[in-house]
Amino acid sequence: MSTDLPVVRLRPKGEARAIRHGFPWVYVDELVLDRRTKAIAPGTMAVLEDDARRPLALVTVNPNSKIICRVMDRNAEAVIDRAWLVEKIARAAQMRDRLFGAPFYRLIHAEADGLPGVIIDRFGDVAVIQPNAAWAEAMIEDLSGALVEVTGVKTVIKNGSGRARTLEGLPEEMVTLQGGVDAPVAVQMNGATYMADVMGGQKTGLFYDQRPNHAFAAALSKEARVLDVFSHVGGFALAALAGGARSALSVDGSASALDLAEQGAKAMGMAEKFSTRKGDAFVTLEALAAEGAEYDVVICDPPAFAPAKPALQAGLRAYERVARLAAPLVAKGGYLVLCSCSHAADLSNFRAASTRGIGKAGRSSQLLHTGFAGADHPMLPQLAESGYLKSLFFRLD
């Protein structure tokens, strides 16, 4: 075992068995918190031992986080350096390049790809890194260098924003680490063209996780009138138009996101079939019902209403409300697609909330299909949080 690394130790009732079986986190109440451990600088590598002083793994430590340790390597003698990062990124890239015909995908999906707390989305020659753990913040130059070495991207952007960084005690900042970009990046996906604002948009600029669900919705949308609520840059709406929809309306609270959606529709030659409406989603759904609007396919893909357990019940009520307000807008025999990206709301809870909402709207339904994130968002089997996305496809009578 390396002698130059600090040692941290599980309490007697700590989850040593879970760590041995592949669980990647140690919570703060599971670790011995002596003065030495509390003084470890965030992002420092350490050897994790069980209560019998047997090494379990090499971990990164952040005393400022409820997830105080993240497993970096099951080998406690591993060296976390640029070569180690190159190996992890190369392994991830090999799988994506086998599955996708163009380099537009999520390249690194945090723990599921062996880089805890790190998200990397690739947009051709541009890559966006979200270093949502203290170790990645400390090693950002090595991380960026390894990324360029493996992929050959010309521009690397660090997107240091979001709730995950706040929980790690990290500051918010947007930094261009290499190259530069001065316009949205055009992304081809499911026959649609999306404009990703990698410098100022939500998350990394585009949501790749819904790719297979966009495709399924597009198959339902031939000759259909489509409503896409919480549309962002036109996710489901533009996929529907590529799939042969008669028309598509995108609703979102962000004028800049809707502008990017319009640019995408124009690039596809679909501008005449596409329209937007800026406004609060709940208010707009009620207004559309009052106007007597009707659609063959209605999709609601909201932000996470239940990002953590304390918000679960309020989040489930919000999902129920979405379903209740959206269902009356669906034509008889039409389709309603309801999505959740909430970690805390599992599939069973989300499905129950959605079906309650549909029932309260006076509609009966069939559940046709349940969709999840694409293969560029792999799931770590031991970590339920890595499989966050759920998409339910209903047919309404």
Residue owning tokens 């999840």: 372
165/121 Cα distance (integer angstroms): 17
At residue 220's C-alpha, the angle toward residues 217 and 221, to 5°, is 90
Active site (annotated) includes residue 341: yes
Contact partners, residue 271, CB within 8 Å, separation at least 6 = 262, 265
Contact partners, residue 377, CB within 8 Å, separation at least 6 = 106, 109, 112, 208, 209, 389
172/292 Cα distance (integer angstroms): 44
Which residue type, as a one-letter code, is found at position 371?
G
Catalytic residue among 69, 300, 339, 341, which? 341
- Backbone angles phi and psi of 219, in degrees to 5: -65, -25
241/268 Cα distance (integer angstroms): 9
Distances (CA, A) of 58 to 84, 97, 339: 13, 29, 37
Across 210-225, b (16+ Cβ under 10 Å) vs e yields bbbbbbbbbebbeebb
178/282 Cα distance (integer angstroms): 41
Tokens of residue 354, six digits: 């959605």
Count Cα neighbours of 286 within 13 Å in the Cβ-side half-sphere.
Answer: 5
Please identify every residue annotated as catalytic.
341
